[in-house]
Amino acid sequence: MKKRALVTSLVALSMLSATGAAFAEKGGNNGPEIANEANWDAAPAPANFDAEKKAKNDKEKNNAEGITTDANPIVVLDPGHGGSDPGAVGNGLREADLTLDIANRTKSYMSANYGFTPYQTRTSDTYVSLDARASYANSKGANFFTSMHINSYSTSTPNGLEVYYYPGSTTGLNLATAVYNKLKASYSTLRGIKTAEFYVLKYTNMPAILGETGFITNPTDASKLGTTTFRQSLATQYAQGMHVYWWGF
């Protein structure tokens, strides 16, 4: 019996290791949380990924051809999940719906108030693959990329804000810091600015971040996310943070 139990345990550990490569496991102030954000090895790199350009742009703010810091930077907003992939679900909400609404509001605010040229990886409830998201941003020659997500956990306790950038990216850290410093006004629990090897952070040629604005599985966070007023606040803060990153104020 002990031998059979040992074999069963080894098989279970092997399965966890196999699935763990594709998704990111994150830790924070309220204990570990696991969000279904795909890691770099979840799919092949897009054909237009340029590792040299990525390395260069991770060290210095990139300017698309003909773009200066005084002109309109190209920004790609990435509403997480969509279509057949609803993302995290909890408290009567779907992550895909929330991220799309926040991105739409962010784009509208940026267009109305700032000199950005914003694009989105999706503008409706449709499925967009990981490589298509990164490829789209690369094809636009974006100056930077912001992916929008909502966190989740197996219990209702974890809550609050996290923003991620790719390990070693100086410009990614600068972008994450600027956006985080604006978004944190909406949260009492601040889980920090962190690094992760998410697919959309690694395979975009430009500085990139991924925001986890609250937990859909936490009743307090979810009740806020369910209101248009709160989502508009997040959209405004996202836009303001990106403005600070690019123009410094």
- Taking the CA of residue 123 as centre, how many other CA atoms within 13 Å lie in the half-sphere pointing to its CB? 6
* 80 φψ region: left (φ > 0), alpha (ψ -120 to 50), beta (else): beta
Region of 187 (left: φ > 0; alpha: ψ -120 to 50; beta: rest) is beta
**CA distance linking residue 152 with residue 158, whole number of Å:** 8
Structure tokens at 116: 């950005």
Active site residue 162: no
220: left (phi > 0), else alpha (psi -120 to 50), else beta? alpha
4, 6, 12, 70, 244 from 9: Cα distances, Å: 9, 5, 5, 59, 50
Angle in degrees, CA 136, 26, 130, rounded to 5: 15
Other C-beta atoms closer than 10 Å to the C-beta of 94 total 18
DSSP character at residue 53: H
One of 37, 95, 162, 212 is an active-site residue; which one?
212
How far is Cα 26 from Cα 128, in angstroms, rounded to an integer?
24
Catalytic positions are 212
